[in-house]
Amino acid sequence: MKKEITLEQVAKLKEYADVSFYDAKLALEQADGDLLEALLWLEKMGKITDAGAGAYTTRPEQGTTDQSDPVPEEKEEENDWGGRIKSFLVDNRLEAYHRESGREFQVPVGVCIVLLVIAFWMVPALLILGYFLGWRYRMAGPDLNRKEVNDAMEKINDKASDVVSDVVSGVKKNFNKDV
């Protein structure tokens, strides 16, 4: 039985571990609501960036920290554009979900971009076919799971559903005329 994760738990973990809301929520889900297990999971995933002065971490490469360190390693990683791009392409994804059955699948943004480059004509055709088959799309991940992005995706989904309904009713009308 899964324990329900509360907003207060997510906020507490977010503040304590200094991670994003998404990472805090994901860690609590992975740890079934256990705060300590969530902290350990975040540490194992490399999401906790600085253990703080005089703190101890279970990561062997860090051990204890000292305030005399002039430049923490994490500051160097912030300027690592290759790592940021890789993270963006892998951690963010396009999710498709079926309106009626609730089935869902996810494709990393990097795969979408590669498919657009290799078969640019096929991706829009598959997306449009998906609309006709009852699928809707949204973005997820640490960079794309924002209200503005998914509001725009919902507007696109709604307009596409309207177009699909118009096309289907037009085809039915023409089919009934011919019969």
Same domain, 50 and 117: no
Kindly provide the b/e burial profile for residues 96-128, where b requires at least 16 CB atoms within 10 angstroms of the residue's own CB. Answer: bbeeeeeeeeeebbbebeeeeeeeeeeeeeebe
Asked if residue 76 is part of any domain, the answer here is: no
Q: How many CB atoms lie within 10 A of CB 70?
A: 5
The model's confidence at residue 118, banded by pLDDT at 50, 70 and 90, is very high
Same domain, 168 and 138: yes
**pLDDT score for 117:** 92
Size of the chain in residues: 179
Asked if residue 30 is part of any domain, the answer here is: yes
Single-letter amino acid, residue 86: K
Q: What is the mean pLDDT of residues 83-96?
A: 86
Asked if residue 78 is part of any domain, the answer here is: no
Range of the domain at 95: 86-178
Contact 109, 98 (CB under 8 A): no
Interatomic CA distance for residues 135 and 104, integer angstroms: 9
Structure tokens at 170: 């037009």
The model's confidence at residue 68, banded by pLDDT at 50, 70 and 90, is very low
Asked if residue 71 is part of any domain, the answer here is: no
Same domain, 49 and 94: no
Q: What is the mean pLDDT of residues 73-83?
A: 62
Q: What is the mean pLDDT of residues 99-112?
A: 85
Cα dihedral: 139, 109, 125, 129 (round 10): -40
The model's confidence at residue 41, banded by pLDDT at 50, 70 and 90, is confident
Structure tokens at 43: 């540490």
Interatomic CA distance for residues 163 and 159, integer angstroms: 6
Same domain, 52 and 116: no
* CATH at residue 18: 1.10.8
Asked if residue 77 is part of any domain, the answer here is: no
Asked if residue 141 is part of any domain, the answer here is: yes
Asked if residue 2 is part of any domain, the answer here is: no
Same domain, 159 and 94: yes
The model's confidence at residue 87, banded by pLDDT at 50, 70 and 90, is confident
Q: Number of structural domains, the chain?
A: 2
Structure tokens at 1: 């039985």
Contact 24, 38 (CB under 8 A): yes
The model's confidence at residue 50, banded by pLDDT at 50, 70 and 90, is low
Same domain, 27 and 92: no
**pLDDT score for 59:** 54
Q: What is the mean pLDDT of residues 93-117?
A: 87
Asked if residue 92 is part of any domain, the answer here is: yes
Same domain, 117 and 170: yes
Q: What is the mean pLDDT of residues 32-36?
A: 86
Q: What is the mean pLDDT of residues 140-169?
A: 86
